[in-house]
Amino acid sequence: MQNARTMLRHANPAGIGEKEPARSFVHVLADTSDKLAGVCSIVEERFAVAGERLDAEARLTRVPAAIVIRADLRDIDNIAAIKKRARDLAKAGKRIFLLEHSSHVGVSQAYALGATLVLPGTINRSRLLAALSDPADSVSSSGTAHSDNAVEAAATAIASMFTAVTLGQPLDIDGTKAAGRQIADRITERGLSEWLTTVRRHHEGTYQHCLLVTGVAIDFGLSLGVGRADLERLYSAAMFHDVGKARIPLAILDKPGRLDAEERALIETHPAEGYEFLKGHNVSPEILDAVRHHHEYLDGSGYPDGLCAESIGDIVRILTISDIFAALIEHRHYKPTMPRTEAYDVLCGMNGKLEKALVHSFKQVALTR
């Protein structure tokens, strides 16, 4: 084990002679000196950086715009060291975890530790700098960044759900529903557009998708004037709908570009997998039905059961439209984000698959809310 140490680079440019515009301050944490030096050398291209080994005494003296962590999350000492800094971490608007081992458990663990973005695999320099440079920080007038409670609570709920499925542990059904309720409150208060923007800024991949679908489904439900009980069914179904993806390797879920037939067949197991897992829990039949059937189409061309119109309930129909729309507008770093108008046109072009009247009602959600 190497000696604990900290390093400070360009963290305080005042008095260093040449005047340059103040650069945002980024704090880097890593579990080895090599990793620390590697990450710092990238970040310092554009930011003032202070680096610290996780096994050093925590000495964060000023609030950074972002914290970047590169550590093996399979090591419990690293987890403990990150938890010890939880209060300081929460002050930074961005908490980017660079994961060496891409797995659902690793990604879930990072979100449970407060990540706002997880970048798995080999460090991608331009991707990291782009994430750090995103100007849309939530920084208050006092200069103190604040974490976004509804987004982070929901991401944490989804993270613990994926961990539970991966490890075969019981799900926290009530906690997940409570997070869905928080999203509903937030959207009632601030509208759908704000939710979509915030979620796309903070998260990627399956987590982002689940958060987007839940937000879209809630706003769709609100626009249709559904009652409180149906709204609860809707956001619960949306939170749970893709939980079966916890059984699919990240390499396939996050693969840029087209999937081959074998990969597609594997992906298509997720509604039934999610249903089987949730069946053992205290989840209502309507929610189970929505999880199993959110990829069914009215013309019988969907999966896993090839259901036709009369067998597909209202909650499922609403969820399916929300799911497709959210998938189209999600933000992926390797492709441009589809505008909402274009995504709505795709839904309109799915003749015979979706309920026409519902797609028509969805127009104001898709375009104006």
Q: Compute the distance between CA of residue 365 and CA of residue 326 in angstroms, rounded to an integer.
A: 12
State the minimum distance, in angstroms, from the CB of residue 138 to Fe ion. 26
Q: Kindly state the smallest distance separating residue 241's Cβ from Fe ion, in Å.
A: 6
Burial of 292 (0-12, 13-18, 19+ CB in 10 A): buried
Least Cβ distance, residue 308 to Fe ion (angstroms): 19
Question: Terminus-to-terminus CA distance in the chain, angstroms?
Answer: 54
Q: How far is the CB of 129 from Fe ion (least distance, A)?
A: 30
Smallest distance, Fe ion to C-beta of residue 104, A: 15
**CB-nearer residue toward Fe ion: 113 or 248:** 248
CA 176 – CA 160 distance, rounded (Å):
9
Cβ nearer to Fe ion, comparing 296 with 323:
323
Q: Provide the sign of the torsion angle of the four alpha carbons 82, 84, 87, 91, taken in this order.
A: negative
Q: Quick one: which of 107, 110, 135 has its CA closest to 46?
A: 135
Q: Which of 31, 148, 242, 286 binds Fe ion (CB under 5 A)?
A: 242
Of residues 242 and 296, the one with the C-beta less far from Fe ion = 242
Choice between 148 and 242, CB closer to Fe ion:
242
Comparing CA positions, the residue from 63, 48, 30, 233 lying closest to residue 132 is 48
The stretch among 26-34, 123-131, 248-256, 318-326 that binds Fe ion (CB under 5 A) is: 318-326
Q: How many residues bind Fe ion (CB under 5 A)?
A: 2
Pick the stretch among 57-65, 221-229, 246-254, 321-329 that binds Fe ion (CB under 5 A): 321-329
Q: Mask of contacts with Fe ion, 82-121, x by CB under 5 A?
A: ----------------------------------------
Closer to Fe ion by Cβ: residue 232 or 323: 323
The answer to the question of residue 323 lying near Fe ion (CB under 5 A) is: yes
Burial label, 334 (beta-carbon count in 10 A; 0-12, 13-18, 19+) = exposed
Report which residue type is found at 355: E
Identify which range of 90-98, 192-200, 323-331, 354-362 contacts Fe ion by CB under 5 A: 323-331
In the complex with Fe ion, the residue whose CB is nearer, 47 or 207, is: 207
Residue (of 227, 231, 146) closest to 180 by Cα position: 231
Give me the sign of the Cα torsion angle 97, 99, 104, 110. Answer: negative
In the complex with Fe ion, the residue whose CB is nearer, 25 or 297, is: 297
- Residue 321: CB minimum distance to Fe ion, A: 12
Minimum gap (Å) between residue 324 Cβ and Fe ion: 8
Residue 183, sorted as left (phi over 0), alpha (psi -120 to 50) or beta, turns out to be alpha
- Closer to Fe ion at the Cβ: 269 or 311? 269
In b/e form, how buried is each residue of 160-194, taking b as 16+ CB within 10 angstroms?
A: bbbbbbbeeeebebeebbebbbbbbebbeeeebee
Binding piece for Fe ion, criterion CB under 5 A, among 24-32, 174-182, 192-200, 322-330: 322-330
| Shortest distance, position 238 Cβ to Fe ion, whole Å | 9
Measuring CA to CA, which residue among 147, 136, 12 is closest to residue 87? 147
Q: Which is nearer to Fe ion, 186 or 241 (CB)?
A: 241
**Helix residue ranges, H only, 99-172:** 104-112, 125-133, 149-167
**Closest approach of Cβ 18 to Fe ion, in Å?**
51
Per CB under 5 A, residues contacting Fe ion are 242, 323
